[in-house]
């Protein structure tokens, strides 16, 4: 971003490895745990390199105020926020314009993943909170939010798997960290897909890119998202080892929704008592 | 928000799209023509009024002097804002910035900022002491779709014609006197697409936006680079994205040509 | 306002003409075009000296929230705003107290011009936006808004014609520009009337005035407003040359409102489909 | 807003007005009497409590030190604020400034500011470095109509009695020590009228304001000048305006006499 | 608070009297007048040392927005504010976090004093405004608000009597003033009770206190509140000399509420016409 | 706010309380156990995650450099904030600070500030020029009651482990380099109680808070002092307050022991 010329600038073509030792197509360590917030209908905690984020899902619940209700579908409303201490220089507590834009694009990405038409007039509230960060917090949040939605037993077409892809210090790379985002030639592309259909549901770009480089970057992005997807599925399996409910629910569109919901519901019966919106 | 869109129109648009047609008779890859007026706001360091079809946008730049950020003591800055005035559509409301306003402002901003068209170091006045901030704000006057591209064209026109005021010895602006113009190293322009009935089409009208399944914008430059992408609602295949990028370069080139002719 | 003593200060008594060459009772060039904003129910664009303003009218439409509805009449709600680049020093985007006060007094002026009792429980929303300015933007907006209301086919008792009047550099003048507003003896009086009845609907004052000067100033104001009124009427005729609908609608109070509305409606049929509030 | 006004009272007021009468028995051109207390707020540089009929308002001044505006490096400033406290009427609410609050504050402010009663140059402490800002704020304690005049009387009383604190060598205020008083070259006061049933009447009560067709205020000074006018809702003929200006001078003179007697 | 070491610091153990000459358990002069705001359903004006506060009560009236209504009781909503000139350094006009917290604790204190269950779905709005201050404004407001509630004829279990108690310059004292609040060893305890039952309804603490000192301080607090309570009762008697309605209403819980209300109502008949919420 | 609490549970809790029992089987004077993690947020100068029963809170500190207040030119400052994230409970909403957020933040702040645990003079960098401000903010991640104590424990852990960054010659923070740690002279901790069915119980769950008649918190230190008290809703007898203060000292001692063991 800043374009500062530094002494000893890395040269990835020459170095053959990245500042933190990774290969060009290598992700930072990623771990996900679902069901971490007991109050939520679904939740996940994700650590991805230095990034640490929580995701919680509440709903489907009645959309309020009334005029926001859509008789054809549920609204997916994402609220992306960062703690004051999640960035090198203290963030002001009130949400800024970046928070708002990211909330919007994450909601638009998840909307394609959920069978929203099954819950007219409701809102599915997704809250994601970044408690530590180092480039890539929005894709970390999107990846975590997908798991939280699945954990909530909400019928989904697929989960969204997302990562940063782009360019730094002369090479095309996946999952840029802060040092790479600050490279003079940095290109950062938040990239998210539905792995089953390969549909792109998140796509933004900062930086200056040759058209010819895009094709290669997209390839890197798809491959990285597949790896992320495996970790997402494992996180869900780790919680629900005894059945494959979550898996079925996600990949099998033909399963009647009623059954899916019930099978998940058995896991959260005590919660259900307190829930407000019922089909 | 008050809704005035007719369901009838929307389903008609989808039906036509499936046949490769549009309500206003345009081809799918055909952008609306635009007209441009420059310099009508005398209090602004530059101003541009664009009509893209029935969409009308006015952009203006004010140059301000401020202290540089401590992290970049030798750099100035730019700032892009957008207001979807309640004047411009019955569905808009006066009030705090909406998500749509924030998004369109930030995407137009990134298209320009990330292209490195403007050398922030040239906006430095005295290192660590004073620098220029170029505030570009654009306003929807009549909103008939695709404020992204309209804002991008108007914004680029404003940056291209912005004058830099003279300063006195205390770095205070001397009114109505100028020392030169902003310099742009390249000319980024956004091109925006929607998908309706599975068909990609460029430069959507307001109703087409309402009827669309997905939206995508790409900023491209005159030297063959992309400086920003933004997917809105919905999803695209990689092939669709590739096609839109190709078209984006083509349409931006045509628009740039026209823009430069107007500016001379 | 600032009261700075300048070298070479003009002396209008001696100079016999004003800083920009005008006579004391001469308006700056004024042009109005109606119907410039296709989405609006009525609109106008006005250039008056350096001032440039848009006006748009939406409604009558249901007043929301409900508790703002008046069962006896329509609310005229004016929103006056300036673009950030419409003034010499960049204006902050969020509305300030001046914007709010002007919105209030413009609404109170227009309220007397419209047959509001014909549209109970509705709001007639008037938006005025200043894109360039040089003293007198509020009267420019009021003048434009009146034309926009007429263009919207809203039944009116009369249009409001408005101008600044007052004093500068020793003389009583009409339509003060910025240099005159900054004169040490400046008096600025935003002045608006309904020309048919001579009723005063806008009246404010900044500056220090002898009581004896007021009578003369009011005379200047009435005369100037008559000229403005002619330009307003011409703007409407230019759009609706084929009929005199707008003229009738404005000056003839006896015409049954139903007919007025219908005759205007014929011009905006395509628009009507999308309209929400109907009588 | 909760409405508690009785339609009955309003129509009665209109009926009476047509006969030249008022609900409280006053003549049309008769203002309510007022009482004044001064200096009860020790933390303020001055304070004034006025009761105008049942309307009660408290005004106070705090003097602050700030940097002068770059455009006027040798001048201080004044600032007038108003709050219609929820304490003062069942229809008022706590919250962000209402249009009514903004208007009454700005009209009272203009009456004083535009009269040039206060020489801003005398509020300069060190050119370009430090100046006084006199913050006058007034609060409605009981709102029974005509906060314009009540705020204007209280505000003028506050300005007339405001002490200027002593400063140390760093231009920091020394608490409870004073170097003198604000000086006023003239004494502007607002007088407010409403029209009901076609009749002009001065100093309206809350119900009269509700029943009124139009409202008008004029600020006049002791040396025969007008320093502000403000029409609120409704319309007036020129004759009506002229009559109100004449009455405004007369009533302000009476009020000023009483005010000065209280202040000595 | 600031902990500045000053020359000539008082030593209360040695001095045997306080900075302003008071004894350790002596209150500053306190006077209360009720019924001072004609528009309000009940009101009071209180001067207590330099503190000067108004309190006004409106209601019970319908709680709005609707979702705030409690079908079991009235909400007591207190709004505590200070004028800009009520403190040595000008206060910003908009409410700060301190204003909000004080509003909350005062509301929680008054809630126990009122028979709120008699007015389901309503709000009793209490506004307190500080126009001059010198430590202790919140207890001044609470004391005044209690009188205003009684003046409004609202059925009460008891009035709240409140004062500051704590420690300064080496001694335990009641009703600290600003000089004492700024003492290096200052402890300030806003303390409020229902005198009839001795229940504590307001209790906060700033400062550093030995546990052993608390017992003594509480004793001082109870004694001081009894004195304040007498002044409160006298303020009400002064207004309603002819009957003992207010007294009865407050101390006699067995009196049927219906009768209480009616007897008070006779005093405020003219007001009742304009009231909105009726049982 | 959406209400999801079951009346059934609340009346059950009251009934149990009358018998001296609690829904989760705890004794009335028994606090929930807690676990603590430290330092997981690398961008923070310190961070602490606490789980108190099912209540989870994360606190972090950022050290900032600012100008000292003119009244205390030789002192730095601390600031405590709280956010009850909408993530943490279905009844919470994103938006401006609620009264509950403000109260819990201010009570935690007072417990630490008033204990004089931190010597503000040691936070001074250059008198009148630069000082440290330690911003401690804590966030509810899962809200199952008693955020007061959870915030207090997490906050104290954060202050105890906070590193002070190194500064360059212009008093700008050098990233990732530290000159030392914050020093605390004593260790204040809040203990919170509710009264249900006439019974005092410590460390309430969310449902117990809902069912409670009254709430009280006391901050106590390791050297036998009280540094803050706060009564929430309801009323207490003096005997009840005295009992809670006694218990507060006891429970805070246990928690402090555990806390120090975790921190070493």
pLDDT in tens, D88-99: 999 999 999 999
Q: Mean pLDDT in chain C?
A: 88
Token readout for C53 is 């303003």
Helices C211-239, D238-263: inter-axial angle, 10-degree rounding: 140
pLDDT for E86 beyond 80: yes
pLDDT > 90? residue E84? yes
**Which of the two residues, C246 and E56, has the higher pLDDT score?**
E56
pLDDT at A240: 82
Q: Tell me which chains share at least 3 CB pairs under 8 Å with chain F.
A: A, E
- Give the per-residue pLDDT at D8: 78
Q: What is the pLDDT of residue D7?
A: 77
* pLDDT at C7 (0 to 100): 62
Chains that touch B (3 or more CB pairs under 8 A): A, C
Q: What pLDDT, in 10s, does the model give residues F47-106?
A: 999 999 999 999 999 999 999 998 899 999 999 999 999 999 999 999 999 999 999 999
Residue C16 CB contacts under 8 Å (≥ 6 apart), including other chains: none
pLDDT at A255 over 80: no
Nearest CA in chain D to E148: D87
* Residue-wise pLDDT tens digits, F233-249: 999 999 999 999 999 99
B 54-73 residues inside an 8 A Cβ radius of C: 54, 56, 58, 60-62, 64
Instruction: Characterise B239 by phi-psi region: left (phi > 0), alpha (psi -120 to 50), beta (else).
Output: alpha
Any idea which residue has 């926009």 for tokens?
A: C148
Query: Sorting pLDDT into bands at 50, 70 and 90, what band is A246?
Result: very low
Per residue in F205-236, is it b (16+ CB within 10 Å) or e — as a string?
bbbbbbbbbbbbbbbbbbeebbbbbbbbbbbb
Report the share of chain C in percent with pLDDT over 70: 84
Top pLDDT among E63 and E271 is at E63
Q: Is the pLDDT of residue C268 over 50?
A: no
Interface test with E, best of F231, F234, F245, F250 (most E CBs within 10 A): F231
Average pLDDT over residues E135-144: 98
Question: What are the backbone dihedrals phi and psi of residue C14, each rounded to the nearest 5 degrees, phi first?
Answer: -85, -45
- Residue B71: its pLDDT value, please? 87
β-bridge partners, A94: none
pLDDT of E242 > 50? The answer is no
The three-state (H, E, C) secondary structure of chain C, written as one string: CCCCCCCCCCCHHHHCCCCCCCCCCCCCCEEEEECCCCCCCEEEEEEECCEEEEEEEEEEEECCCHHHCCCCCCEEEEEEEECCCCCCCCCCCCCCHHHHHHHHHHHHHHHCCECHHHCCCEEEEEEEEEEECCCCHHHHHHHHHHHHHHHCCCCECCCCEEEEEEEECCEEEECCCHHHHCCCCCEEEEEEEECCCCEEEEEEEEEEEEHHHHHHHHHHHHHHHHHHHHHHHHHHHHHCCCCCHHHHHHHCCCCCHHHHHHHHHHHHHHHHHHCCCCC
Cβ atoms D157, D48 nearer than 8 A: yes
pLDDT in tens, E171-211: 999 999 999 999 999 999 999 999 999 999 999 999 999 99
Q: Answer yes or no: is pLDDT of A252 > 50.
A: no
Chain E within 8 Å of D1 (Cβ-Cβ)?
no
The neighbour count for residue A143, using CB atoms within 10 Å, is 31
- Domain extents in chain C: 2-236
CA D163 – CA A35 distance, rounded (Å): 65
For domain C2-236, the CATH superfamily is GHMP Kinase, N-terminal domain (3.30.230.70)
* E200/F231 CB distance under 8 A: yes
Q: Residue A262 pLDDT more than 50?
A: no
Is residue C258's pLDDT more than 70? Answer: no
ipTM associated with this complex = 0.93
Of A2, A103, A104, the CB nearest to B72: A2
The pLDDT of residue A7 is 62
User: What pLDDT does residue D92 have?
Assistant: 96
Subunit contact B229:A205, Cβ cutoff 8 A? yes
Strand partners, C190: C164
Interface test with C, best of B8, B87, B141, B173 (most C CBs within 10 A): B87
pLDDT at residue number C3? 43
Q: Is the CB of residue A119 less than 8 Å from the CB of residue A71?
A: no
* A6: confidence class by pLDDT, cuts 50, 70, 90: low
Strand F130-142 with F77-84, pairing: parallel
The neighbouring-strand residues paired with C45 are C33, C54
pLDDT at C264 over 60: no
The confidence band for B8, taking pLDDT boundaries of 50, 70 and 90, is confident
Question: Region E9-26: what's the mean pLDDT?
Answer: 96
CA distance E40 to chain D (A): 7
What's residue C6's pLDDT? 53
> How do residues C214-254 score in pLDDT, each as one tens digit?
999 999 999 999 999 999 999 999 988 644 444 445 444 43
Please tell me the distance in Å from B245's CA to the nearest CA on chain C: 31
Positive or negative: CA dihedral A96, A97, A98, A99: positive
Whether the per-residue pLDDT at D256 is higher than 80: the answer is: yes
Domains defined for chain F, CATH in brackets? 5-263 (3.30.230.70)
For residues B199-215, average pLDDT: 97
State the first-to-last Cα distance of chain F, in angstroms, to the nearest integer: 42
Which chain E residue's Cα is nearest to D88? E39
The per-residue pLDDT for F9 is 86
pLDDT band at residue A202, thresholds of 50, 70 and 90? very high
D to E CB pairs, distance under 8 Å? 106
Is B238 in contact with A189 (Cβ distance < 8 A)?
Answer: no
- How far apart CA D64 and CA D162 sit, in angstroms, is 12
User: What's chain D's average pLDDT?
Assistant: 96
Cα gap E123→A15, rounded to integer Å: 71
User: Tokens standing for B217?
Assistant: 């914008």
Judged by average pLDDT, the poorest of A191-205, A242-256, B45-59, F166-180 is A242-256
Instruction: Tell me the sheet residues that pair with C126.
Output: C57, C78
> Is the CB of A85 less than 8 angstroms away from the CB of F45?
yes
Distance, CA of F263 to CA of E67 (rounded, Å): 46
Contact call for F230 and E215, based on CB within 8 A: no
Mean pLDDT of B10-22: 96
User: Confidence class of residue A66 from pLDDT cuts 50, 70 and 90?
Assistant: very high
Please tell me the predicted confidence (pLDDT) of residue C70: 96
Interchain contact, B41 vs C85, CB within 8 Å? yes
- β-strand B189-196 against B214-220: which pairing, if any? antiparallel
Task: Say which residues have a Cβ less than 8 Å from residue E77's Cβ, sequence separation at least 6.
Answer: E107, E123, E124, E125, E126
Q: Say how far apart CA D43 and CA D58 lie, in whole Å.
A: 14
Which chain D positions have a beta carbon within 8 Å of E89's beta carbon?
Answer: 62
**Is the entire prediction scored with pTM above 0.90?**
yes
Question: What's residue F5's pLDDT?
Answer: 54
Query: Residue D5's pLDDT is what?
Result: 54
More confident residue, E249 or D233: D233
State the average pLDDT over residues C180-191.
97
Q: How far apart are CA F232 and CA F214, in angstroms?
A: 7
pLDDT digits (tens, 9 = 90+) for F194-228: 999 999 999 999 999 999 999 999 999 999 999 99
């Amino acid at each position: 971003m800043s374009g500062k010329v530094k002494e000893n600038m890395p040269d990835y073509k020459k170095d053959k490895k990245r500042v933190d030792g990774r290969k060009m197509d290598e992700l930072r360590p990623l771990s996900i745990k679902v069901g971490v917030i007991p109050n939520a209908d679904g939740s996940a905690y994700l650590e991805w390199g230095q990034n640490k984020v929580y995701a919680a899902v509440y709903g489907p619940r009645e959309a309020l105020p009334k005029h926001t209700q859509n008789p054809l579908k549920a609204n997916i409303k994402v609220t992306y926020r960062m703690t004051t201490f999640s960035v090198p220089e203290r963030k002001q507590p009130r949400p800024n314009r970046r928070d708002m834009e990211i909330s919007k694009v994450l909601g638009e990405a998840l909307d394609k993943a959920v069978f929203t038409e099954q819950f007219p007039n409701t809102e599915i509230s997704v809250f994601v909170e970044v408690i530590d960060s180092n480039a890539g917090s929005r894709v970390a949040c999107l990846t975590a939010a997908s798991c939280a939605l699945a954990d909530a037993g909400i019928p989904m077409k697929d989960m969204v798997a997302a990562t940063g892809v782009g360019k730094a210090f002369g090479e095309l790379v996946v999952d840029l960290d802060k040092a790479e985002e600050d490279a003079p030639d940095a290109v950062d592309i938040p990239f998210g897909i539905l792995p089953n259909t390969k549909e792109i549901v998140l796509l933004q770009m900062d930086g200056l890119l040759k058209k010819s480089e895009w094709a290669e970057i997209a390839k890197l992005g798809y491959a990285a998202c597949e790896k992320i997807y495996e970790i997402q599925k494992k996180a869900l399996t780790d919680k629900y080892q005894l059945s494959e409910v979550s898996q079925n629910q996600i990949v099998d569109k033909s399963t009647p929704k009623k059954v899916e919901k019930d099978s998940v519901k058995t896991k959260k019966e005590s919660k259900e008592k307190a829930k407000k919106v019922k089909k | 928000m008050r809704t005035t869109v007719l369901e009838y129109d929307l389903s008609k648009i989808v039906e036509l799209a499936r046949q490769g047609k549009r309500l206003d008779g345009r081809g799918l890859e055909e952008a609306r023509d635009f007209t441009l007026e420059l310099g009508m706001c005398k209090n602004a360091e530059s101003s541009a009024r664009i009509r893209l079809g029935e969409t009308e946008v006015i952009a203006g730049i004010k140059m301000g002097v401020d202290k540089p950020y401590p992290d970049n003591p030798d750099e100035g800055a730019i700032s892009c804002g957008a207001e979807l005035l309640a004047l411009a559509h019955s569905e808009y409301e006066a009030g705090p910035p909406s998500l749509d306003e924030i998004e369109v402002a930030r995407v137009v901003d990134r298209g320009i900022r990330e292209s490195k068209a403007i050398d922030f170091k040239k906006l430095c006045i005295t290192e660590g002491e004073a620098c220029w901030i170029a505030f570009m704000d654009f306003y929807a006057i009549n909103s008939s779709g695709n404020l992204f591209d309209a804002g991008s064209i108007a914004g680029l026109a404003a940056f291209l014609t912005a004058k830099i005021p003279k300063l006195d010895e205390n770095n205070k602006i001397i009114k109505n006197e100028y020392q030169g113009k902003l310099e742009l190293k390249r000319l980024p322009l956004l091109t925006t697409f929607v998908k309706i009935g599975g068909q990609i089409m460029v430069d959507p009208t307001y109703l087409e936006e309402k009827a669309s399944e997905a939206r995508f914008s790409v900023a491209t430059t005159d030297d063959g680079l992309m400086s920003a992408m933004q997917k809105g609602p919905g999803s695209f295949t990689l092939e669709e994205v590739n096609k839109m990028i190709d078209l984006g370069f083509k349409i931006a080139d045509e628009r740039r040509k026209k823009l430069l002719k107007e500016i001379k």
